[in-house]
């Protein structure tokens, strides 16, 4: 379950920026006691994600607004499918419509994109994972969308995962000293990941006892050699503009994970509309 605490800040910020001093148009033209009904309809094929967020938004605006979900998060919908119905005070529905859709469409977009990649690997034991290239303020929601679309999550933030990159290595002196330093300071509950760019670095990371080795920007050939070299002694993650590559070939090298920044840094909102009747 996606706990509301994890997205309440961004939802409140979004409502504040859109409602501001109130909806003047609705205030002027819609009586307070006017009721309305509506349907959220998919206008293209995709994976649904974010229903709870949408419901929460309307609940914050008016507790008497009722929603019924026709599908669950993770369901695939076709063009024309009804996703959810809504009923209640017209003013509240109109005020929340845009913000609710802004969240829902983006999250569906991310889940749908993830799903496309994940389906390509349905018969291989390699997982699609996200990165920290998420929309600022939407980290948790977008990681949830990746999970919903069939991917898995990399670390949430800078403090719940150790990822040693080139600059850390350069500063610490070597992969060995960097891993050693992390092992000394970081909680033992976190795995230690090292980003490498050559087979020599792969060997160093293995020797240093890295738990995860990120193969950054390697050719398919080098990746294959790296995976063989590592030989299951560490988890392996392929990285580097992966959304533009042949994911299938990358997966066939035997890496455990493929991280794709584009899952969240390049977003196509799923087309969904709210059809209201009075």
Site for a copy of itself in 207-246 (CB under 8 A): 211-212, 235
Q: Is 24 in the site for a copy of itself (CB under 8 A)?
A: yes
Whole-angstrom CA distances from 29 to 23, 64, 236 are 10, 20, 59
Residue 122 found at the interface with a copy of itself (CB under 8 A): no
35 binds a copy of itself (CB under 8 A): no
In this chain, which stretch among 1-9, 65-73, 202-210, 225-233 interacts with a copy of itself, using CB under 8 A? 1-9
The residue annotated as part of the active site, out of 45, 216, 243, 252, is 216
195 as an active site residue: the answer is yes
Instruction: Write the DSSP symbol of residue 243.
Output: G
Based on the residue annotation, tell me whether 98 is a catalytic residue of this protein.
Answer: yes
Using rule CB under 8 A, residue 170 touches a copy of itself: yes
Residue 103 makes CB contacts below 8 A (sequence gap 6+) with 11, 14, 50, 53, 54, 57, 141
Residue found by looking up tokens 């584009």 in the block: 262
Catalytic residue at 165? yes
Q: Where are the beta strands (DSSP E) in 43-97?
A: 46-47, 66-69, 76-77, 82-89
Residues near 119 by beta carbon (within 8 Å), at least 6 away in sequence: 150
* 77 is a site residue for a copy of itself (CB under 8 A): no
Query: Which residue of the set 23, 73, 97, 195 is catalytic?
Result: 195
Q: Is 182 in the site for a copy of itself (CB under 8 A)?
A: yes
237 annotated active-site: no
Catalytic residues: 98, 133, 165, 195, 216
């Amino acid at each position: 379950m996606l706990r509301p605490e994890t997205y309440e800040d961004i939802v409140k910020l979004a409502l504040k920026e859109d409602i501001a001093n109130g909806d003047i148009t609705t205030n002027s033209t819609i009586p307070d006691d006017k009721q309305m009904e509506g349907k959220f309809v998919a206008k293209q094929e995709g994976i649904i994600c974010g229903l709870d967020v949408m419901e929460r938004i309307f609940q914050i605006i008016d507790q008497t607004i009722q929603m019924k979900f026709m599908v669950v998060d993770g369901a695939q919908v076709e063009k024309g499918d009804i996703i959810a119905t809504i009923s209640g005070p017209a003013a509240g529905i109109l005020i929340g419509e845009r913000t609710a859709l802004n969240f829902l469409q983006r999250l569906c977009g991310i889940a749908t994109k993830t799903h496309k990649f994940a389906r390509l690997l349905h018969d291989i034991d390699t997982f699609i994972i996200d990165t920290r290239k998420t929309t600022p303020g939407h980290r948790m929601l977008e990681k949830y969308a990746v999970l919903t679309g069939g991917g898995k999550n990399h670390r949430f933030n800078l403090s719940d995962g150790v990822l040693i990159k080139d600059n850390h290595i350069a500063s610490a002196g070597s992969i060995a000293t960097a891993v050693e330093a992390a092992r000394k300071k970081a909680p033992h509950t976190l795995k230690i990941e090292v980003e490498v760019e050559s087979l020599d670095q792969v060997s160093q990371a293995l020797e240093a006892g890295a738990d995860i080795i990120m193969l950054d920007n390697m050719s398919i050939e080098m990746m294959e050699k790296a995976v063989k070299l590592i030989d299951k002694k560490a988890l392996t993650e392929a990285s580097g503009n992966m959304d533009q590559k042949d994911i299938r070939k990358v997966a066939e090298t035997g890496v455990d994970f493929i991280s794709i920044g584009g899952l969240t840094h390049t977003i196509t909102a799923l087309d969904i509309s709210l059809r209201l009747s009075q």
